Amino acid sequence: MDMSINGPRQMGNLIIEEVWYEGTDAVKKGEALCYNTDKGTATDFDGQRCNWVERSSSSNHMAFAGVTERSYSAQNAGQRLRIAVPGSKGVPIALAVDTVIDTGLLSFQVGGGTGAGRFYTGKYKGRGSAIPRQTVTALLEGGMTGGTMSVAATDGVTVTVADSSDFTAGDTLVILAGELDGTGIFTLGKHTISSITNGTTIVLTAPCLSTLSTGSLTLTGYIYTGNPTCQADLLTGDESGGIEFLTPLNAGQTGVTHMVGGVSYIPGVGTLAADCDVTFAQGSLPGDTKAFVVLGTVGTSDVVIDLATNGIKRDGSTGMQEIDDLDTAGDAVYLIFDGVVWHTVGFTGCTETSS
């Protein structure tokens, strides 16, 4: 494969694949897609598993395909499109965070409805991650901690923000996660702003709750105009797994749904009345990685990582049953699987509990 620059110097150096997108929705330039690796009958050979793509989910996020070369309008029966694949340089990627040239790492969002595939702060290198090669102020407002945005649960359209002075009708609110009070249910993904009521209140064109409730519900999300992108280099190597946003139930729960691998962010939406347990299964292969990172305070109760099989603490020898006290912004744990058990490789603000 000739990967040299064969065009004007201002062009990116993209490696392009033509694939078939199974979705019927519009796809924006720079959004990530994943291969449908389980398409068809499992016992049959099916070449479509390496050229049919779909929005990222917890079932395909370990098969990152690439990012769209341009925007594509919605089609009612899927469509052919072009993607830039890992190894491409100078690729525009769709943003969910502001960027600084040559600083940090970005990874694609897994799940989250129509918000899937945009790039947020990552932790693991490899396929599905990128290095920003451009400084871009992408967001009008970001409420990743869960402390600055909320919606009136009685109508699902009236949203309180920190400062709407630079918003305009037609801007986009992407909801990543929302408070689960046991009644109200958020529709994750992109929502269009219909109007601006005042300096801290906006109205959406349609409800962001599929089930209404009472009072107000906090949410994690961000607001942008158009489709902000930045120049980036797509990394190769093992699958990074992308990033996701979890929403534990206010009342507490056992078995918080989470994706295998990658980074699970815990935003501060709602106040936990009891602990929320993540039942953390064994890895599949030696070298598998996983991180849990808290973005905003969740209250006096905690998110607990309950290992299905006891692991090993950061000291390299002591048995570990669970990781407790994930409840404050900045709390985080990073783990690696050795083929038999999980090992803590780093943690802050939380507690390793002995087995």
Find out whether 151 and 193 touch, Cβ atoms under 8 Å: no
Pairing status of strand 263-266 against strand 243-245: parallel
Overall domain count for the chain? 3
Query: Do residues 206 and 284 share a domain?
Result: no
Q: Of the candidates 170, 192, 224, which is a domain's last residue? A: 224
Query: Do residues 132 and 156 share a domain?
Result: no
What confidence score (pLDDT) does residue 146 get? 79
**Per-residue pLDDT tens digits for 285-326:** 999 999 999 999 998 899 999 999 999 999 999 999 999 999
What confidence score (pLDDT) does residue 9 get? 64
Q: What is the chain's mean pLDDT, rounded?
A: 94
How far apart CA 13 and CA 215 sit, in angstroms, is: 51
Whether 2 is in a domain gets the answer: no
What confidence score (pLDDT) does residue 8 get? 59
pLDDT above 80: residue 132 = yes
What confidence score (pLDDT) does residue 185 get? 92
Query: Do residues 21 and 134 share a domain?
Result: yes
Whether 1 is in a domain gets the answer: no
What CATH number should be reported for the domain holding residue 158?
Answer: 2.40.30
Query: Do residues 77 and 65 share a domain?
Result: yes
The parent domain of residue 68 ranges over 16-138+228-234
**Per-residue pLDDT tens digits for 24-62:** 999 999 999 999 999 999 999 999 999 999 999 999 999
Whether 292 is in a domain gets the answer: yes
**Per-residue pLDDT tens digits for 242-274:** 999 998 889 999 999 999 999 999 998 888 999
Whether 310 is in a domain gets the answer: yes
Whether 158 is in a domain gets the answer: yes
pLDDT above 60: residue 75 = yes
Please name every residue paired with 109 in a beta bridge, in sequence order, or none if there are none: 243
Whether 239 is in a domain gets the answer: no
Q: Of the candidates 234, 259, 291, which is a domain's last residue? A: 234
Write out the E strands in 75-206.
79-84, 91-94, 106-108, 119-121, 129-132, 141-143, 150-152, 158-160, 172-178, 185-186, 189-198, 201-204
Whether 210 is in a domain gets the answer: yes
pLDDT band, residue 148 (cuts 50/70/90)? confident
Whether 314 is in a domain gets the answer: yes
pLDDT band, residue 2 (cuts 50/70/90)? low
pLDDT above 70: residue 4 = no
Query: Do residues 146 and 120 share a domain?
Result: no
Find out whether 224 and 181 touch, Cβ atoms under 8 Å: no
Query: Do residues 113 and 165 share a domain?
Result: no
Find out whether 103 and 121 touch, Cβ atoms under 8 Å: no
What confidence score (pLDDT) does residue 84 get? 98
Q: Of the candidates 184, 201, 234, which is a domain's last residue? A: 234
Find out whether 73 and 33 touch, Cβ atoms under 8 Å: no
pLDDT > 90: what percent of the chain? 90
Query: Do residues 148 and 120 share a domain?
Result: no
pTM assigned to the model = 0.95
